[in-house]
Amino acid sequence: MIGGLFIYNHKGEVLISRVYRDDIGRNAVDAFRVNVIHARQQVRSPVTNIARTSFFHVKRSNIWLAAVTKQNVNAAMVFEFLYKMCDVMTAYFGKISEENIKNNFVLIYELLDEILDFGYPQNSETGALKTFITQQGIKSQPQTKEEQSQITSQVTGQIGWRREGIKYRRNELFLDVLESVNLLMSPQGQVLSAHVSGRVVMKSYLSGMPECKFGMNDKIVIDKQGKGGATDDSGKSELGGSSGKQSIAIDDCTFHQCVRLSKFDSERSISFIPPDGEYELMRYRTTKDIILPFRVIPLVREVGRTKLEVKVVIKSNFKPSLLAQKIEVRIPTPLNTSGVQVICMKGKAKYKASENAIVWKIKRMAGMKESQISAEIELLPTNDKKKWARPPISMNFEVPFAPSGLKVRYLKVFEPKLNYSDHDVIKWVRYIGRSGIYETRC
Amino acid sequence: MPAVSKGDGMRGLAVFISDIRNCKSKEAEIKRINKELANIRSKFKGDKALDGYSKKKYVCKLLFIFLLGHDIDFGHMEAVNLLSSNKYTEKQIGYLFISVLVNSNSELIRLINNGIKNDLASRNPTFMCLALHCIANVGSREMAEAFAGEIPRILVAGDTMDSVKQSAALCLLRLHKASPDVVLMGEWTSRVVHLLNDQHMGVVTAAISLITCLSQKNPDEFKSCVPLAVSRLSRIVSSASTDLQDYTYYFVPAPWLSCKLLRLLQCYPPPEDGAVKGRLVECLETILNKAQEPPKSKKVQHSNAKNAILFEAISLIIHYDSEPNLLVRACNQLGQFLQHRETNLRYLALESMCTLASSEFSHEAVKTHIETVINALKTERDVSVRQRAADLLYAMCDRSNAKQIVAEMLSYLETADYSIREEMVLKVAILAEKYAVDYSWYVDTILNLIRIAGDYVSEEVWYRVIQIVINRDDVQGYAAKTVFEALQAPACHENMVKVGGYILGEFGNLIAGDPRSSPLVQFNLLHSKFHLCSVPSRALLLSAYIKFINLFPETKPTIQEVLRSDSQIRNSDVELQQRAVEYLKLSSIASTDVLATVLEEMPPFPERESSILAKLKKKKGPGAVSVSDLEEAKGEGGALNGSGDRGADAAATSNSATLSPSADLLGLRSAAPVAPGTGSLLVDVFPEAGPASAPAVSEDGFLRHLDLPPESSDSLLVEAPGESDFEDPALPLPESDDLLYKFVCKNNGVLFENQLLQIGTKSEYRQNLGRMYLFFGNKTSVQFSNFTTSITCPGDLQTQLNMQTKPVEPLVDGGAQVQQVLNIECLSDFSDAPLLNIMFRYGGAQQNLTLKLPVTINKFFQPTEMSSQDFFQRWKQLSLPQQEAQKIFKANHSMDTDVIKTKLLGLGPALLEDVDPNPENFVCAGVIQTKGQQIGCLLRLEPNAQAQMFRLTLRSSKDTVSVHLCHLLAEQF
């Protein structure tokens, strides 16, 4: 189990140090700083073993979070915990930065006491935590006995993530499908690897203890229903998306603790009692039949030793009615670039010397369009024999559909005790596809 | 770069550096550097010419970026351009960049060399210096090739400035060190030597470093520097402290130069010219005199400089070792330092005195300081100084003061630092043995040593004491008494128990008369330590007990009781259990006569050099015994190990033969009468039978052998032209492999013969030990002179085989024969054969030949008898593919059953009858005994008479052994 948890700033100074077990001493703090943060070579592995002690770290901007243990723990569990911890901190005080951490020392220690007990992760549901770890005295007036007992029964009870007796005038529900597309493409346009990792994030403002059921175009479910002869989903699949694809194959998925896994295993239906507020319902990954929103066609020509001509065409590949946003193409330049001239039809392009790249930004672009940039790069002759490695051209964007083809078929809410029905709930569904590592070799 | 930015401050550079320093993270720093690099690249882009200032600034920035650890792959051209600038700062930065960042890029090197050449040719001394510094800093081969001719010219040219000469001398030194083959002095030699006469002290100082380095390589060429150096030295030494203004350091004239001069003189023997020598002696005396004068300054620098010269002078005196007067004076001077309050001085004094002690002139003088040194050993706070004091004590020890020194060292040992204890123990052991007049003193000393520092006493130390006690009748009684007393201490070191057990087992009877040490008391004393000992010591004690039964029949019931107890006879350790069982049986079955014969007193060990002492003799100086030496000494101790344990082994000949647990340990019944401790060994039975019943083999061997002589003598003439007296050992003769194979199955015969020399060999082996007699016969009527033989174990063999021998007589008369005895111990299995190198002079011509000694792994076979069932069971156990080696080959010799049998018997293992269902086949079983392990070996030979073929299959518990044996055997049939 986790023996201790440390938070460092970029210089390796310890901001937070919480030790849960005796086998971790103060020297572990220094060991991590010396061997990882100040290491001569950049440490790329998130798990480092120093003197029979394992350090699991994640980095958020300039802040290092390291979990330390001497035991053989489940590394995936530790990282899940660290990410959860980041989420909790973000939910409490916003961006994780040195200043924010310094301003919230007490809060962080209070949180750490609550979410880890003797190194074992406990309830890390933000909604639940916020009921009893309150911020900066806003709600710090002494709670009544009933409130306290309510919190206790909720935290220790079967449904630890939702308290009872929540009431809203308007029952509302927001559902976001957030996906990021990762791609590596050869210069000839052959897909070398592609996958989508997606999340379903919900924000629920529902009264009572509602029972929800979430349905999507999962291939297994659709096939099963197809066999059964019931095809009632034709009308509902128009919530969003771009392709006429009927169902998607999900490679693997994980759920929020509120989802009843037994039901998923037996019927593959996702039913749950949602926490109040914002949470991540599920995470999934697909690799088949991915809609690639953009195609990048590079053309690099070396003119002698001192000149390089680059032409890059991007083509948008989705419904013309949809608009992609925040498009950014990054074209790496050789290390001996001495000057760059860029011409582009659309957007703005600039040579950023500090990053050794030409950055081309386009605010908006509709589907089925194409745009082009051409650049002339002047090179300084060097005495270095090794050739330029030609790093891939990378791209960032945001599109309003799910590149995996996932569609939400339904989200039903049942609250048997209170008198509102599924139709009374206002539901909002949004699809956002972002680029992950979206690269084309040139 | 404060010097640069003071004159014309490069603001851009300062801003850039402060930007970098203010970066919050590594990423930010990289971004800033990338930006700057892009900026510099755009500035360096060919189309616009940059002025010198900005070029310098950008090159500086690149240098800074490089020193931060980033790659720089451009800007070299601009740096080279800076070389042609006329401004000092620009040139300096250019050279700096090149020194730091040059790589062997051909086109650039040419340009750089060109720039350097221009600067060297200019008459501007600062530019010349910059160029020379750059050459020295880079020091590449290309540079050496380009300027090796130019720099000596600058060095000796009359019109060169002094500062340039200094740089040139040091630059040349650097090039000489980097690529000595390129820098040839040749015609410059005499003129370089004459630089010692230069007016400018700096030039002399620089030149002398160069000369020292060069003269170490070819001393003859620079011989002429000695008188010059002496005169220079005398001028400095005799000068007043104010004469050499700039070169006087805290009232000491030119200390560095003096030291260097003295060091240069240490490269040469004492000057032969009387005048020069007189002058030098005068100088040295002056230096020694000056040391006596009261210091001119209280500053530590003053005394440091003075002492530096003094110590160099003393090393020179020791190096010459020819001036008794000076040596004694030096010794006295050092004696004063021994009590100096500066620790470093005391350390240096002790160290120098160590070397002084080895000189015959000053040995006595050193001895006068014994009290001081002993005091230092006791009271010194720094362990390294104490170590030096111990070294010095060791070096100054001789017969007259050995007792005192050994006693002091022993008493110090009790409090000594753990890091030097082992070394001290070895030194005490060596001194005690070397200077022992009275062996009872020796025994006392070593026993004390074991008592005080038992953990640090290595095995060979106590082996040695036992050897000496056994070989000296006069000391045996005393030794028995002393160990008996020593053992009475409540806590004894295990080594003490071992020595006690051994000595009481052998000589307990000598003190048995005294009722206080009656046999039973002795036994009870020994047995009270038994349970605290490790297994090997317990085994030794068991052997001592059985010896007690022989010495004192009245102890028999008690000892039998002990042996019979469950803790012995059912001990989980096989060795202990076996000893207990066998000794019990031996004591109850054998008659007193048999017992007395079996358990006879150990015969004296052959007189041989102590392995510790042998180690010592190899060392030239009496300096420190380093750790690695100690470790080697331990390795050598292996030979002694065998002999030290011999008492136990001789008493129980059967214990090693019965490796198999199934053999019901009754081997003792048959073995006891056969091996009544007379030294005739089981193994010997086979070799004796070998040649007698195998005429075919030996005849064949001799026939082949007769063909050899003309051929081999030819090769001898070619190989050993006899020009030099001292030659490297010749390569082994091409036929030496055949010679080796001849001896696989027999132990005696003629190893080698040519027109001059015949070498016969006879050998006997028992377990992992062997003894080989080599007979060198002079076939001519002329005397061989400088006859030397040496045994070498090539490669891994050194760790696998332990060979010991004594040198033979250097003269072999015509027709005479000399004998050499080799003691061999097999440490682990091996496949190579040791080499015997023989060198002698015959009629003025040097003869040199190398043979392989017929020591093969099968010599260490111990036969094992077993039934057919047992054999096949084991055969199946060794079924891993790598454990088996098989060969099918054509018969080269007769396939007669008897001949094959003889050969197999000669090989070593037991030939098992009626084991194989096919009576034509031969099966053998045996155990190869090495010090480290025992390797069981099974063999099956299937002859096919029709096809004249053999199939040989070997299985052993070690794969390399199977393969090697198979290879050896295949050559035999």
DSSP annotation string for B875-941 = HHHT-SGGGEEEEEEE--S---HHHHHHHHHHHSSEEETT-SSSTT-EEEEEEEE-SS-EEEEEEEE
pLDDT for the residue numbered A311:
93
Give the model confidence (pLDDT) of A406-417 as tens digits.
999 989 998 888
Strand B910-912 to strand A116-117: parallel, antiparallel, or no bridges (unpaired)? unpaired
- CA dist A419 and A432 (Å) reads 34
- Residue B48 CB contacts under 8 Å (≥ 6 apart), including other chains: none
Whether the predicted pLDDT of B332 surpasses 80: yes
Name which of A150-159, B121-130, B178-187, B927-936 the model is least confident about: A150-159
Higher confidence at residue B839 or residue A5?
Answer: A5
Q: Which amino acid is at A381?
A: P
Q: Do A336 and B41 lie within an 8 Å CB cutoff?
A: yes
Query: Is A339 in Cβ contact with B42 (below 8 Å)?
Result: yes
Q: Measured between alpha carbons, how far is residue B900 from residues B686, B696, B905, B942 in Å?
A: 14, 10, 9, 11
Q: Give the rounded percent of residues in chain B with a pLDDT score beyond 90.
A: 6
A226 against B659, higher pLDDT: A226
User: What number is the average pLDDT over the span B356-365?
Assistant: 80
Residue reference for tokens 């745009």: A371
Q: Among B25-39, B304-318, B951-965, where is mean pLDDT lowest?
A: B951-965
| Distance of alpha carbon B505 from alpha carbon B547, whole angstroms | 5
Q: Output the pLDDT for position B607.
A: 67
Closest approach of chain A CAs to the CA of B80, in angstroms?
13
A229-285 pLDDT, tens per residue?
444 444 444 444 444 557 888 889 999 989 999 988 888 889 999 988 888 999 999
Q: What domains sit in chain A, N to C, each tagged with a CATH number? A: 4-130 (3.30.450.60), 172-225+246-288+407-440 (2.60.40.1170), 294-399 (2.60.40.1170)
Whether residue B887 has pLDDT greater than 60: yes
Mutate to test the interface with A, among B41, B71, B97 (most CBs of A within 10 A): B41
CB contacts, 8 Å: B73 with chain A:
335-336, 382-384
pLDDT in tens, A344-396: 988 999 999 888 899 999 999 999 999 999 999 988 877 666 778 889 999 99
Judged by a CB distance cut-off of 8 A, whether residue B108 touches chain A is yes
Interface mutation vs chain A, best among B19, B45, B62, B106, most A CBs within 10 Å: B45
Please determine, for residue A209, whether its predicted confidence score (pLDDT) is greater than 90.
no
Asked if the model's pLDDT at residue B778 lies above 80, the reply is yes
- In A, minimum Cα distance to B104 occurs at A383
Indicate yes or no: CB of B37 within 8 angstroms of CB of A353: yes
B39/A353 Cβ within 8 A: yes
Going by pLDDT thresholds of 50, 70 and 90, the confidence category of residue A83 is very high
To the nearest whole number, what is the mean pLDDT of chain A? 86
Which of the residues A60, A377, A380, A386 would you substitute to probe the B interface, choosing the one with the greatest number of B C-beta atoms within 10 Å? A380
Q: Do the Cβ atoms of B41 and A338 come within 8 Å?
A: yes
Q: To 5 degrees, how large is the angle CA A85–CA A87–CA A89?
A: 70
- Which of the residue ranges B57-61, B420-424, B511-515, B841-845 has the most confident prediction, judged by mean pLDDT? B57-61
Beta pairing partners, B598: none
Question: A407: distance to nearest CA of chain B, Å?
Answer: 40
State mean pLDDT over B120-139.
89
pLDDT of res. B374: 84
Higher-pLDDT residue of B423 and A231 is B423
State the DSSP string of A369-399: -EEEEEEEEEE---S--SPP--PPEEEEEEE
Q: With 80 as the cut, is the pLDDT of residue B326 above it?
A: yes
Does B459 score more than 80 pLDDT?
no
The alpha carbon of residue A381 is apart from the nearest alpha carbon of chain B, in Å, by: 8
Averaged pLDDT, B461-477: 81
Q: Is A130 annotated as a binding residue?
A: no
What pLDDT does residue B622 have?
38
pTM of the model as a whole:
0.56
For A371, residues 6+ apart whose C-beta sits below 8 A from its C-beta are A313, A314, A344, A345, A346, A347, A362, A365
Per the model's pLDDT, the better-predicted residue between B693 and A56 turns out to be: A56
pLDDT at residue number B609: 58
% residues pLDDT > 70 (chain B): 84
Interface contacts (A, B; CB < 8 Å): 49
Task: Tell me: pLDDT of B678 over 80.
Answer: no
B42 → chain A, closest CA residue: A338
pLDDT at B710: 37
Contacts of B107 in chain A (CB under 8 A): 383
Picking from B25, B31, B45, the nearest residue to A338 by CB comes out as B45
CB atoms within 10 A of CB B893: 13
Question: SS3 for A98?
Answer: helix
Residue B694 — pLDDT band, cuts 50, 70, 90? Answer: very low
Alpha helix locations (H) across A59-104?
Answer: 75-93, 98-103
Of A195-199, A229-233, B900-904, the one with minimum mean pLDDT is A229-233
Per-residue pLDDT band at B665 (split at 50, 70, 90): very low
ipTM metric: 0.71
Exposure of B564 in the CB half-sphere (CA atoms within 13 A) = 10
Query: For residue A356, which residues of chain B lie inside 8 Å, CB to CB?
Result: 34, 38
Contact A354 B105 (CB under 8 A): no
- What is the residue-averaged pLDDT of chain B? 77
- Which residues between 73 and 102 in chain B have a beta carbon less than 8 angstroms from any beta carbon of chain A? 73-74, 76
Q: Does the annotation list A167 as a binding residue? A: no
| Neighboring chain A residues of B32 at a CB cutoff of 8 Å | 354
Is residue B736 very low, low, confident or very high in pLDDT (cuts 50, 70, 90)? low
Other C-beta atoms lying within 10 Å of the C-beta of residue A48: 17
> What would the mean pLDDT of A198-216 be, rounded to a whole number?
91
pLDDT band at B105 (very low <50, low <70, confident <90, very high): low
- By CA distance, what is B24's nearest residue in A? A10
Among the partner-chain residues A10, A353, A380, the one whose CB lies closest to the CB of B45 is A380
Q: Is the pLDDT of residue B144 over 80?
A: yes
Mean pLDDT for B897-905 is 78
- A337 close contact with B: CB closer than 8 A: yes
Residues of chain A in contact with residue B108, where contact means CB-CB under 8 angstroms, are 383
- What is the structure's pLDDT at B608? 61
Task: Write out the two tokens for B938.
Answer: 């099974």
What is the tens place of the pLDDT at every residue in B589-647? 877 778 778 787 777 777 665 666 554 444 433 343 333 333 343 333 333 333 333 33
Residue whose entry in the numeric block shows the structure tokens 């002494």: A142
Please report residues of A whose CB lies closer than 8 A to that of B16: none
Q: Which helix (H) or strand (E) holds B765?
A: strand B757-766
Comparing alpha-carbon positions, the chain A residue that sits nearest to B26 is: A10
Distance from CA of B34 to the nearest CA of A (A): 4
For residue A312, is pLDDT > 90? yes
Q: Is A352 annotated as a binding residue?
A: yes
| The pLDDT of residue B733 | 62
Length reported for chain A: 442
Which B residues in the span 719-748 are in contact with A, Cβ-Cβ below 8 Å? none
Contacts of B266 (CB under 8 A, 6+ apart): B315, B316, B319
B795-829, pLDDT tens digit by residue?
777 788 888 887 777 778 777 788 888 888 888 88
Is A335 in the B-facing interface, judged by CB distances under 8 Å?
Answer: yes
Sorting pLDDT into bands at 50, 70 and 90, what band is B533?
A: confident
